[in-house]
């Protein structure tokens, strides 16, 4: 009988990511888990609505069983069953992030036994979660590089605090995920700025665009201000930087009482730091790539218990160069090591301004010796 996974929900960063990634890995590995001390250090500890939606989504796609699945619960046990491909609708019911719910179920659906269509409702552009545009332009293209085919389409924007967004995800799975390396960034081939406004005056977007142009020295023609349909007011700044092999998307959100120029200056500083560092992967994408590359490193090739491929060589795991890791990422690393038993090594640069993350199986690193 496979040993149950015991997770301390207060470890490291201690937030909702521990819940989502633990559930995702339970679905992938088929191992049951118990999470205690859920969000213990937060102002409102325990499961919130978007976390509960993620739990219920995990239950639904596999017919599993959970105890402690209630708002405010500080302990959760989950016993998964085999994942079932199909059509699913998951609604957060608030402005809670629907993109974070996707993080919970997507990894298992990438290696499921058939295609899946997901419809997700809730927040699509929230300050505390990857916006839809980050998924579409930065994350999903790299997932498709691993073998599956994922298509994602936005039907309606959902800003905090009203929510009400909606998007669809089509998943054509691949039994095995191919790893990859992303250690060099080529010359930028495209960069642009989109400022989204919903039920707010246009001068806000113009001031934000003008600030980014001034801070980064970019051509004003590369900036677009768009009025979008959403149930409530909202403002998002999205900066896209594309190179061969990777596209990064940086975002910032308008906040009540904060001048538009200050919001734009924040995202401009983030973009400038990335461009100066010369790395291909920025902070948030670095965190997002760990789990799929970790699954790739963990997976055995068919009929090869030693993990040696008998057909064409499949890279397991991978490596990428990024900025110094956030606490969010270091917590993620500890979780992946615990549940998957894989090797994750961090090589810091001499000036400590960037690092290389290497993810491999327990017996070897990609490209290295056993």
Q: Which of 345, 354, 352, 340 is nearest to 31 (CA)?
A: 340
H helix intervals, 63-173? 98-110, 132-134, 140-144
Q: Which of 160, 78, 152 is nearest to 122 (CA)?
A: 160
Locate 297 and state its tokens: 């490193």
The Cα 302–Cα 82 span in angstroms is 18
Residue 91, C-beta contacts closer than 8 angstroms, at least 6 positions apart? 53, 98, 120, 121, 122
Q: Which of 368, 361, 363 is nearest to 298 (CA)?
A: 361
Catalytic residue among 51, 157, 203, 328, which? 328
Beta bridge partners of 168: 119, 153
The Cα 20–Cα 48 span in angstroms is 12
The Cα 92–Cα 109 span in angstroms is 19
Name the 3-class secondary structure at 195. strand
Question: Is 170 one of the catalytic residues?
Answer: no
Name the 3-class secondary structure at 136. helix
Beta bridge partners of 248: 241
Residue 123, C-beta contacts closer than 8 angstroms, at least 6 positions apart? 50, 92, 94, 95, 96, 97, 98, 99, 129, 158, 159, 160, 163, 165
Residues annotated as catalytic are: 328
């Amino acid at each position: 009988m496979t040993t149950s996974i015991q997770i301390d929900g207060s470890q490291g960063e201690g937030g909702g990511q521990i819940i989502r990634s633990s559930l995702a890995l339970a679905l992938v590995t088929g191992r049951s888990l118990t999470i205690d001390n859920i969000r213990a250090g937060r102002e409102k500890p325990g499961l919130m609505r978007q976390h509960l939606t993620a739990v219920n989504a995990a239950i639904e796609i596999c017919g599993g069983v959970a105890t402690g699945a209630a708002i405010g619960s500080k302990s959760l046990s989950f016993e998964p069953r085999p994942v079932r491909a199909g059509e699913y609708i998951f609604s957060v019911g608030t402005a809670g992030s629907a993109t974070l719910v996707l993080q919970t179920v997507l990894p298992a659906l990438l290696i499921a036994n058939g295609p899946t269509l997901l419809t997700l409702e809730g927040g699509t552009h929230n300050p505390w979660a990857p916006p839809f545009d980050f998924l579409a332009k930065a994350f999903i293209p790299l997932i498709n590089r691993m073998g599956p085919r994922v298509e994602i389409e936005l039907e309606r924007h959902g800003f905090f605090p009203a929510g009400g967004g909606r998007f669809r995800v089509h998943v054509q799975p691949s039994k095995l995920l191919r790893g990859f390396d992303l250690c060099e960034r080529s010359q930028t081939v495209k960069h642009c700025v989109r400022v989204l406004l919903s039920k707010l005056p246009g001068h806000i977007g113009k001031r934000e665009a003008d600030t980014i142009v001034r801070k980064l020295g970019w051509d004003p023609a590369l900036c677009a201000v768009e009025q979008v349909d959403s149930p409530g007011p909202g403002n998002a700044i999205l900066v896209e930087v594309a190179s061969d092999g990777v596209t990064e998307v940086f975002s910032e959100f308008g906040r009540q009482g904060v001048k538009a120029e200050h919001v734009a200056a924040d995202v401009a500083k983030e973009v400038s730091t990335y461009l100066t560092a010369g790395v291909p992967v920025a902070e948030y994408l670095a965190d997002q790539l760990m789990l799929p590359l970790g699954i790739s490193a963990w997976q055995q090739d068919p009929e090869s218990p030693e993990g040696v491929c008998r057909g064409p060589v499949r890279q397991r795991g991978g490596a990428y160069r990024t900025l110094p890791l956030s606490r969010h990422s270091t917590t993620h690393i500890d979780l992946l090591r615990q549940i998957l038993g894989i090797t994750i090594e961090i090589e810091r640069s001499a000036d400590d301004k960037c690092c290389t993350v290497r993810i491999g199986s327990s017996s070897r690193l990609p490209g290295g010796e056993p």
